[in-house]
């Protein structure tokens, strides 16, 4: 049964001493309306910050003891109480009360109940404004590390698949039209490059975020002799914020995180879109694995890429989280405003969308069943036209002239119902005597790919070197 101190006061009464409300409502004669409490409370979602709130509070308490604002006995009681609260929340025995408004007051209210008078001193020289700024940075630091590991898992997954398909020929596309032959490994390496940039962006976000805001107070710091750098060292921050107004108003780090998340989600969406295309009957480059597919409620023959479609669709959520956060910030004056309470739901939603998408995509790639023969067949046709033009250029012809000649060859072949592979050297020489007997080697996709040994190109030899570089890293 809930103790009397946790009971909601009647409307128009003063909250009882020791209640969650009374921690910050000494100036008020009447309790808030229940519907106002429900609308303004962030406790239903910010409770997931509890570990980081406790971590920050312990560091703050140790600093208060160091500067003489807590006795050793008071410090011990506070730390013991906070550790007990952590266990209670993790075990599910902690009693949350919407009247506490947020996780910060919920923990403080419980600490006072456990530790008594020492608990009343924990909030010395601290505001919820700088407290939540600290908690969110600590939370995101851990979560960014988890996201980076998921990105690395996906990169390793793609590397493993690429190693099996260094010589698997496929068409490369521009404007969704077949363009030139490449290899599947080279195609996958393009995704790996995207993911490498994604990792870099998250690392940069974490680096910029490593600035400790606690000590800024509500907006104008404090008259008490705090040691902010001690707290920063204990919590692993590289520096402390230089301006107390900026410390509590800044959510650039959340925007950085959401921006990196949105772009990573876009990269996943592009992957999913291509796999969806490749697994259609029209492309036939790959088959959907059963364990990642769904069926139709009406059509028994269907195998649908629902997972890929949902990852593609949920990208809109992450982009929306970024836009929502920017919209919240765009009209805010300094310093703290309650609009900033919206930051956590945006961050949480992006995380809860991105992390499983990364994990599932990493598991999906190795299970995808490719059709190399179908892919190679699609890489033929007129995709070798550029090779013919470059052959002429290598023998001294201007590129525009070579382009015109090969265009005429393609036009003639189409008229005759042939592909370039069907042409003989004699057919080529009718358009230009610059073509030699070795020109026939140009009309095979594997030769075209093997010749593209330039750094960053799709030649198997180049791709193998790149894969070894990635594995060494």
The answer to whether 81 and 109 are in contact (CB under 8 A) is no
Apex 82 CA angle, 80 and 88, nearest 5? 105
Output the domain CATH number for residue 286: 1.20.200.10
The answer to whether 238 and 210 are in contact (CB under 8 A) is yes
Q: Is 364 helix (H, G, I), strand (E, B) or coil?
A: helix
Q: Which one from 93, 175, 297, 338 is the annotated catalytic residue? A: 175
Final residue in a domain of this structure, among 104, 124, 144: 124
Cα separation, 109 vs 90, whole angstroms = 17
* Domain interval for residue 58: 17-124
The reply to whether 472 falls in a domain is no
Residue 175 catalytic? Answer: yes
The answer to whether 268 and 234 are in contact (CB under 8 A) is no
- Strand partners of residue 172: 180
Co-location of 117 and 250 in the same domain: no
Q: Which one from 239, 296, 394, 461 is the annotated catalytic residue? A: 296
Co-location of 165 and 271 in the same domain: yes
Co-location of 145 and 93 in the same domain: no
The reply to whether 5 falls in a domain is no
Residue 403 catalytic? Answer: no
Co-location of 48 and 159 in the same domain: no
Cα separation, 140 vs 136, whole angstroms = 6
Cα separation, 150 vs 148, whole angstroms = 5
The reply to whether 430 falls in a domain is yes
Co-location of 250 and 390 in the same domain: no
For residue 68, the surrounding DSSP H or E stretch is: none
Placement of tokens 């490719």 in the chain:
370
Tens-digit pLDDT profile for the chain (473 aa)?
Answer: 344 344 443 433 333 334 444 677 778 888 889 899 899 999 999 999 999 999 999 999 999 999 999 999 999 999 999 999 999 999 999 999 999 999 999 999 999 999 999 999 999 999 999 999 999 999 999 999 999 999 999 999 999 999 999 999 999 999 999 999 999 999 999 999 999 999 999 999 999 999 999 999 999 999 999 999 999 999 999 999 999 999 999 999 999 999 999 999 999 999 999 999 999 999 999 999 999 999 988 998 899 999 999 999 999 999 999 999 999 999 999 999 999 999 999 999 999 999 999 999 999 999 999 999 999 999 988 889 999 999 999 999 999 999 999 999 999 999 999 988 889 999 999 999 999 999 988 889 999 999 999 999 999 999 999 999 999 88
Q: Is the pTM of this model over 0.75?
A: yes
The answer to whether 366 and 161 are in contact (CB under 8 A) is yes
């Amino acid at each position: 049964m809930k103790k009397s101190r946790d009971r909601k006061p009647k409307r128009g009464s003063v909250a009882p001493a020791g209640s969650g409300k009374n921690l910050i409502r000494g100036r008020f004669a009447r309790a808030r309306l229940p519907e106002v409490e429900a609308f303004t409370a962030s406790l239903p979602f910010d409770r997931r910050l509890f570990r980081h709130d406790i971590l920050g509070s312990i560091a703050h308490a140790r600093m208060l003891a160091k500067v003489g604002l807590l006795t050793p006995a008071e410090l011990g009681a506070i730390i013991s109480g906070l550790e007990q609260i952590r266990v209670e929340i993790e075990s599910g025995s902690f009693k949350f009360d919407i009247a506490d408004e947020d996780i910060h007051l919920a923990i403080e209210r419980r600490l006072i109940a456990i530790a008594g008078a020492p608990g009343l001193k924990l909030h010395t020289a601290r505001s919820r404004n700088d407290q939540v700024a600290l908690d969110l940075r600590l939370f995101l630091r851990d979560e960014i590390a988890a996201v980076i590991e998921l990105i690395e898992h996906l990169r390793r997954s793609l590397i493993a698949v690429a190693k099996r398909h260094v010589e698997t020929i496929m068409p490369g596309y521009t404007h969704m039209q077949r363009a030139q032959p490449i290899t599947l490994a080279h195609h996958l390496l393009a995704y790996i490059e995207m993911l490498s940039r994604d990792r870099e962006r998250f690392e940069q976000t974490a680096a910029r975020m490593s600035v400790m805001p606690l000590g800024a107070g509500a907006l104008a710091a404090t008259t008490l002799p705090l040691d902010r750098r001690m707290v920063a060292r204990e919590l692993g921050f590289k520096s402390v914020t230089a301006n107390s107004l900026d410390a509590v108003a800044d959510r650039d780090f959340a925007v950085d995180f959401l921006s990196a998340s949105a772009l990573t989600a876009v990269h996943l969406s592009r992957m999913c879109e291509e796999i969806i295309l490749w697994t259609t009957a029209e492309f036939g480059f790959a088959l959907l694995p059963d364990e990642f597919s769904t069926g139709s409620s009406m059509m028994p023959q269907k195998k649908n890429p629902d997972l890929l479609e949902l990852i593609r669709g949920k990208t809109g959520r992450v982009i929306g989280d970024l836009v929502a956060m920017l919209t919240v910030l765009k009209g805010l004056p300094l310093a703290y405003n309650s609009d900033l309470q919206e930051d956590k739901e945006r961050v949480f939603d992006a995380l809860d969308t991105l992390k499983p998408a990364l994990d599932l995509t990493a598991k999906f790639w190795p299970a995808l069943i490719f059709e190399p023969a179908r892919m190679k067949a699609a890489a033929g046709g007129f995709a070798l036209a550029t090779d013919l033009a470059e052959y002429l250029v290598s023998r001294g012809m201007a590129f525009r002239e070579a382009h015109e000649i090969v265009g005429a060859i393609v036009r003639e072949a189409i008229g005759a119902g042939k592909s370039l592979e069907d042409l003989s050297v004699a057919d080529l020489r009718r358009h230009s005597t610059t073509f030699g007997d070795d020109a026939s080697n140009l009309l095979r996709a594997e030769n075209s790919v093997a010749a593209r040994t330039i750094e960053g190109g799709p030649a198997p030899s180049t791709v193998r070197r790149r894969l070894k570089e990635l594995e060494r890293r």
